Amino acid sequence: MFEGFALTRRAGDGVELRVRHGGDGPPVLLLHGHPRTHATWHRVAPLLVAAGHTVVCPDLRGYGASEKPPTDPRHRPYAKRAMAADCVEVMRGLGHERFAVVGHDRGAYVATRLALDHPEAVSAVSVLDAVPIGEALRRCDATFAASWWHWFFLGQTDKPAERVINADPDAWYKATPEAMGAEAYEDYRRAIHDPATVHAMCEDYRAGLGVDREHDDADRQAGRRISCPLQVLWATRDDMTDLYGDVLSVWRDWAGDRLAGGPILSGHHMAEEAPAELAAALREFWRGLGVRRGRTHG
């Protein structure tokens, strides 16, 4: 897994992250979702390196083997703003002042926040299976609540979800080594069996229902948009189109004039289920932007 990549620990914004990186060329930051670790990218990252990119895959703060800072009553240490600041520090520490970013699931919210908070650092952003957190909650209806009930369960504090999950993590998070790959599965399994990680992942959701939504709503009210080119991809065997119909239309109020995207024939975990197709879609997007070493034209 990740042959030729280095596995290191790098300084984020006041926390230390576990980071896998390798390759040479225009830098790309890959951000995983819940409850995965950076290992979810193990089938995609080598394809991007082979295509001439430097690829950086961190465990987000709280996830995997990255640090899990103490929380506060508003869950701000697990805000996507904090996670985005980590990513900027990690990339700068590796010598990358400007880079493309790809985020899946919860990582997509971090990628979005990166593009909004740090436009000078992000040359292009790709979000997978997501709309902005504030947008999702603003549009929330009975269909969303029934399908995405875990947002509200994991976000509770009076009756914390940690007690339920820690009773049997394997039953709660149903994944298989056949689908993920044996090494990636073992990495994920170590994470979900660590109560500190489970708590941190719940804190991610608690921040999502509160401070993350506040940040998104403030940006929306101010008319702030993602200024770099934006690609939105969604899995055909997930529920993005059931919830939103034209997924790109949800993003138009958030994007500049360079919005692209479409479906990937896959289930939700497309980096594991359709790595070649995903890598091809990312490369096509970047080629269309004229990506060159160290900067993006177009």
Four-point Cα dihedral 155, 225, 30, 74, nearest 10: -30
Instruction: Please list the residues that pair with 101 across neighbouring strands.
Output: 29, 125
Are the C-beta atoms of residues 78 and 207 closer than 8 Å to each other? Answer: yes
Instruction: Please list the residues that pair with 295 across neighbouring strands.
Output: 292
Are the C-beta atoms of residues 233 and 247 closer than 8 Å to each other? Answer: no
Report the alpha-carbon angle 266-248-56, nearest 5.
Answer: 60
Catalytic residue among 59, 86, 105, 129: 105
**Does a cis peptide bond (omega within 30 degrees of 0) precede residue 35?**
yes
Comparing CA positions, the residue from 50, 55, 49 lying closest to residue 100 is 55
Comparing CA positions, the residue from 19, 14, 115 lying closest to residue 60 is 19
Distance, in Å, from the CA atom of 133 to the CA atom of 35, rounded to the nearest integer, reads 17
185 to 29, 140, 165, 180, 246: CA distances (angstroms): 21, 32, 18, 6, 33
Distance, in Å, from the CA atom of 40 to the CA atom of 163, rounded to the nearest integer, reads 26
268 flagged as catalytic: yes
Instruction: Please list the residues that pair with 259 across neighbouring strands.
Output: 230
Tell me the CB-side half-sphere exposure of residue 279, using CA atoms within 13 A.
19
The catalytic site residues sit at 105, 268
